[in-house]
Structure 1
Amino acid sequence: MIKLIAIDMDGTLLNEHHLVTEKVKQAIKKASEAGIKIVLCTGRPVHAVYDYFKELDLPQDEEDYVISLNGTVVQKTTDWEIVYSHQLDHSQLKRAEKLIEPFKMNFTYFDEKNYYYTGEATEMLQFDADLLGMEAIHLPLEELSPELTIFKAMYVAEEAELNHLTASMPAFIAENFYPIRSLSYVFELLPQGANKGEALTGLATKLGFTKEEVMAIGDGENDIDMMKAAGTSVAMGNAVDSIKQIAKHVSKSNQEDGVAHAIYEWALK
């Protein structure tokens, strides 16, 4: 019996217009009414989750949570208190930023509330900030306060430009970060030991659920660890091949209410 469903947002919960369809809302509502916990598990910062969370009208009690920034932060939905987190070392951020010098790209990073970037703003940076509904704030790392906790960093660039960077990625990146290509235009640097799967496993254990009682629904490379942490893993119809290969089931696409299909087919039946 499924007791918790972890749902990715972009490309999964949200359609190509970044909307939650009525069919998906109704399926999530029925799952919640059946006693299943719904946990949004996203690469977004929590401030880019609030409006969707309210739209879904999910329960907000002491045992409800959101996993954000690709597993680096877990927050209660009652007051958005951080109950679990990983953070990045500032000195390693400065070392990682130097890699962008030959390229036209931005080095970006997040604290709990803000989206920061270094260098001259590119079109892809603005596209990503607009997608999240956030203002990108220019803050060179030399001006970064030692007191500011940074949970995630990203390289943001056109796909071809980012391909050049990743093709020559030095060993210290993998040695000091958990690197992942989450989107064609985004290469993320997470703290070591942090990912969606690790956060989901920890949360399920805290709530007293076994792996077999957890379902995960996703579409991108950054969902692989989440899929492995769930007894019932569901790839969206629009998912990348690597997700489809490891998932237990493949649902419909995010343009065809794939989350609703997954909930009715493998959680509520």
Structure 2
Amino acid sequence: MIKLIAIDMDGTLLNEHHLVTDKVKKAIKEASNAGIKIVLCTGRPVQAVYEYLKELEMPQDEEDYVISLNGTVVQKTTTWEIVYSHELDHKHLVEAEKLIGSFEMNFTYFDENNYYFTGEPTEMMHYDVNLLGMEAKHLPIKEIPKEMKVFKAMYVAEATELDRLVASLPPFISENFYPIRSLSYVLELLPQKANKGEALTGLAEKLGFSMDEVMAIGDGENDLDMMKVAGTSIAMGNAVDSIMQAATHVTRSNQEDGVAHAIYEWALKG
């Protein structure tokens, strides 16, 4: 019996217009009414999740949570208390930013609520900021206050430019970060122990659920860890090959209300 459903946002919950369709809203509400815990599990910072939580009427009680920044932060949706987090070392951020060199890209990073960047803003960075509905703040790495917690960093660039960077990355990156290509134009640097799978496992344990009672729905490389730990894993019809191969089931695409189909077929039908 499914007791918790973890749902990715971009490419999964949201269609190509970044909207939650009425059919998906209805399915989520029915699952919630049936006693199933719904948890958004996203690479977005929590500030870029607020409006969707309100739209889905999800902040219901003290035991409702959101997993943000690809598993580096887990927060209550009622008080925004952080119950789980991993952060990056400032010294490692300084070294990672140096790798940009002559590449046309931005080095960006997040604390709990803000999107920061270094260098001159590129078109791809503006696209990413607009997608999240946020305002980017310029703050050089060496000027980060000592007390500021940084949960995730990113290289943001056109896909071909990012390919060049990825091909030249030194061992330092994998030794000190958990790197993941979440989008064609984004390479994320997470704390080594942080990913959606670790966060989802910890949250399920906190709520008293076994992983056999957890369903995960996703489409991208950054969803792979949660797909591997969930007892029931659903690949969207538009998912990348690695997600298709890891999933126990495949639903329709995000253009065809795939999340709703998954909820009805593998969570509520049983």
- For residue 107 of structure 1, report the CA deviation from its aligned partner: 0.2
Partner of 1:103: 103
Supply the AA of the counterpart residue of 1:118: T
Secondary structure in structure 1 of the residue aligned to 2:62: coil
Supply the AA of the counterpart residue of 1:140: P
Partner of 1:18: 18
The Cα offsets for residues 167-195 of structure 1, whole Å up to 9 and x where unpaired, read as 11100100000000000000000001100
Distance in 1 between the 2:44 and 2:59 partners? Answer: 20
Query: How many residues are aligned here?
Result: 269
Partner of 2:165: 165
Supply the AA of the counterpart residue of 1:186: V
Partner of 1:34: 34
- RMSD over aligned Cα, in angstroms? 0.6
Partner of 1:250: 250
Does 2:64 align with 1:81?
Answer: no
C-alpha contact (below 8 Å) 2:43/2:68 kept by paired residues: yes
The Cα offsets for residues 170-223 of structure 1, whole Å up to 9 and x where unpaired, read as 001000000000000000000011000000000001101011100000000000
Percent identity among equivalent residues? 79
Supply the AA of the counterpart residue of 2:160: A
Matches within 5 A, 1:44-193: 44-193=44-193
Supply the AA of the counterpart residue of 2:265: E
Partner of 1:2: 2
- Name stretches of at least 5 consecutive residues in structure 1 with no aligned partner: none
The Cα offsets for residues 140-188 of structure 1, whole Å up to 9 and x where unpaired, read as 1121111110000000000000000001110010000000000000000
Distance in 1 between the 2:148 and 2:7 partners? Answer: 29
Give the TM-score, by structure 2 length. 0.99
Secondary structure in structure 1 of the residue aligned to 2:66: strand
Secondary structure in structure 2 of the residue aligned to 1:100: coil
The Cα offsets for residues 56-102 of structure 1, whole Å up to 9 and x where unpaired, read as 01242121100000000000011111111000000000000001112
Structure 1: which 4+ aligned runs deviate by more than 3 Å?
none
The Cα offsets for residues 94-130 of structure 1, whole Å up to 9 and x where unpaired, read as 0000011120000000000100000100000000000
Q: Name whichever of 26-35 and 138-147 sits farther off.
A: 138-147
Give the TM-score, by structure 1 length. 0.99
Distance in 2 between the 1:261 and 1:233 partners? Answer: 13
C-alpha contact (below 8 Å) 2:53/2:59 kept by paired residues: no
Distance in 2 between the 1:10 and 1:229 partners? Answer: 20
- For residue 229 of structure 1, report the CA deviation from its aligned partner: 1.3
